[in-house]
């Protein structure tokens, strides 16, 4: 009794972790109106043509693109720079990115020495919101593993992550 249930659960979990083909992962063609983006891709499948109109209209606000996310990531990394500090109290961490099951994809380590921390945190928050919107828009899936929050330490005058956690 226990073995078949375990096999069934394993099959269900693996089915949720499959990779999407490029065709499935590609976003539909859209035309942008001031408030909404409307799907204009022709549906070959009759079931898709029966889809209610409300499901074909998506809000544009807060939707990012990979190019925009890449640009914002570069800005954030430039702000952080080498994360130099004179004492460990200047070293901080912030949740970064978004996992489809929720929570951060990683943590960024930075130093408050010579940095506008409020501006950095604002940029990270905006990035995280765009990353979440993009993940929902593309229907991304995740391994749902929990990213451990790292400790911070000062090594040779540079803020570094402690022994646990994933970093970009």
User: Among 11-20, 87-96, 115-124, 157-166, whose mean pLDDT is lowest?
Assistant: 11-20
Written as six digits, the tokens of 164 are 């646990």
Enter the pTM of the model.
0.59
In this prediction, residues 87-91 reach a mean pLDDT of 97
- The distance from CA 76 to its chain's CA centroid, rounded to whole angstroms, is 15
Q: In what order do the strands lie in the sheet with 30-32?
A: 30-32, 36-39, 57-59
- For the stretch 14-61, pLDDT in tens is 444 444 444 444 443 333 333 333 333 344 444 444 433 333 323 333
Written as six digits, the tokens of 78 are 């430039």
Written as six digits, the tokens of 142 are 């995740």
DSSP helix/strand/coil, 154: strand
- The distance from CA 69 to its chain's CA centroid, rounded to whole angstroms, is 9
Q: What was the pLDDT predicted at 81?
A: 97
């Amino acid at each position: 009794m226990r073995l078949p249930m375990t096999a069934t659960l394993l099959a269900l979990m693996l089915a949720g972790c499959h990779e999407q083909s490029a065709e499935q992962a590609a976003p539909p063609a859209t035309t942008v109106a001031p408030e909404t983006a409307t799907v204009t891709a022709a549906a070959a499948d009759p079931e898709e043509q029966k889809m209610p109109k409300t499901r074909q209209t998506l809000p544009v606000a807060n939707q990012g693109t990979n190019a925009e996310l890449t640009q914002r990531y570069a800005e954030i990394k430039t702000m952080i720079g080498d994360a130099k500090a004179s004492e460990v109290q200047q070293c901080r961490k912030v949740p970064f990115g978004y996992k489809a099951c929720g929570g951060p994809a990683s943590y960024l380590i930075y130093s408050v020495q010579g940095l506008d921390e409020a501006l950095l945190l604002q940029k990270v928050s905006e990035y995280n919101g765009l990353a979440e919107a993009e993940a929902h828009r593309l229907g991304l899936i995740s391994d749902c593993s929990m990213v451990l929050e790292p400790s911070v330490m000062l090594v040779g005058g540079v803020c570094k992550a402690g022994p646990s956690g994933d970093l970009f």
